Chain A
């Protein structure tokens, strides 16, 4: 069952050419669906533009980009941090 923010899903879709219209859930494997490591910076820009947060470089690990759920977890944590600090 997906608990992903619809804005997050819409943001991800252009990066996943092999999703072929199937619903993106927390378990969706981003590499399998075609996320290319050379696109990481474009993906970060999309996160910043959509959610107004910057992900710390410590968070930019292989695990973060493994699934839609793992990336969403890092984004939502950064949003929580920014709420607390702003």
Chain B
């Protein structure tokens, strides 16, 4: 699956910048500001914004292809980009015309990088509920929200925030609200010292402020619909694309090293163990690649995304990509051994890829998805495959 050449060329510019800074941002656990600047100037922050609003007019496939391409170089950056596009898709799909006209040109011009505020203390990653209620005062909406983890929160120019709808009876009535950074007081806390995904620089944030009512996306209580139609599909597809990119990049660098004149001299390319491990890694990324694009086809063409068979496929993609991309890199570490598999500074980058990909199963936990999938499987006793 190839993206439009003009998009590929723009993403390549970002990859070139990222390659020059990825060691530093990983070492320091700092946000990839140089690569973000290149995303701004290339217009890629507005990849999903239509041309009428000044964007690149791209689609889901462009986002996935770009995420794979970025993931080859830096998984943190790829995730930052994919999650930003997920937020933009929600704005494109659900913003009132007034908000769309205000915000989309700013995104397209590279002036707005969007962060997502969906985490909340005590709800354990339950995307569709919120315990903190949106206030109403003098015709405006008041936000006072703590989020334990916001990727890119320290540098984001705007936030999409989930909050319980005003006057809601249950935690299931959730609204999605846009807030520009200058409409908020943003207080960051905590430290970011993770095993991998270090450049995703995720912090705890407290957001307080006021926004006009037209900044609610999809109406009050509309988040459930946005989540089912846009957020969840794009999250699973986007994350899987990033992970696939990282595993693919790792495999590519290992193969290049083995084929190089020095590599051929030092590795036994007739070793059955080595050949089997290379084959297994390739098989895993091919499997994820096929499942990714098949799932994208289904999401684009299915008349209804909420039926069990489509939900099961989306979850299966996420679980499979998380497992298989990680295991592909594991196999490559065994294939090349300590020097090029375990030490920092190897041209293979396996050490970082392994740390980064270890997060995949934890990021919207596979364990939780399996529980949901078990229930969904029971709802489809005829096992309709899609």
Contacts and interface: CB of A to CB of B under 8 A. Distances in A.
B281 to A, nearest CB: 36
A31 B128 CA distance: 11
Nearest to B225: A62
Given A38-B372, A40-B375, A57 B170 contact: no
Given A57-B308, A61-B306, A31 B379 contact: no
A78 to B, nearest CB: 14
Interface string B160-176: 00000000111011000
B115 to A, nearest CB: 26
B173 A41 contact: no
A57 B307 contact: yes
Contacts of B382: 57
Contacts of A36: 172
Interface in A40-64: 40-41, 44, 57-58, 60-63
Contacts of A60: 306-308, 379-380
Given A57-B382, A60-B307, A60-B308, A31 B375 contact: no
A34 interface: yes
Interface string B357-381: 0000000000000011001001110
Contacts of A17: 170
Contacts of A58: 307
Nearest to A36: B172
Given A57-B308, A58-B307, A32 B173 contact: yes
Contacts, number: 53
Contacts of B169: 18, 32-34
A63 B375 CA distance: 19
A37 B375 CA distance: 9
What bracket does the count of chain A residues touching chain B fall in?
A: 10 to 19
Dominant SS among interface residues on chain B: loop
Contacts of B221: 32
A31 B375 CA distance: 18
B228 interface: yes
Dominant SS among interface residues on chain A: loop
A57 B168 CA distance: 30
B306 A62 contact: yes
A41 B381 CA distance: 11
A36 B126 CA distance: 11
Interface in B202-235: 221, 224-225, 228
Nearest to A45: B378
Contact of A44 (B225, B309, B379): B379
Contact of B172 (A34, A44, A61, A62): A34
A41 B170 contact: no
Contacts of B380: 57, 60
Interface string A19-39: 000000000000111111110
Interface in A56-78: 57-58, 60-63
A25 to B, nearest CB: 15
A18 B308 contact: no
B379 A38 contact: no
A31 B336 CA distance: 53
Interface in B297-311: 304, 306-309
A76 to B, nearest CB: 19
9 contacts: A31-B172, A32-B170, A32-B172, A35-B172, A41-B375, A57-B307, A60-B306, A60-B380, A62-B306
Given A37-B372, A61-B307, 15 more contacts: A18-B170, A32-B169, A32-B172, A32-B221, A34-B170, A38-B371, A41-B379, A57-B379, A57-B380, A60-B306, A60-B307, A60-B379, A60-B380, A62-B225, A63-B306
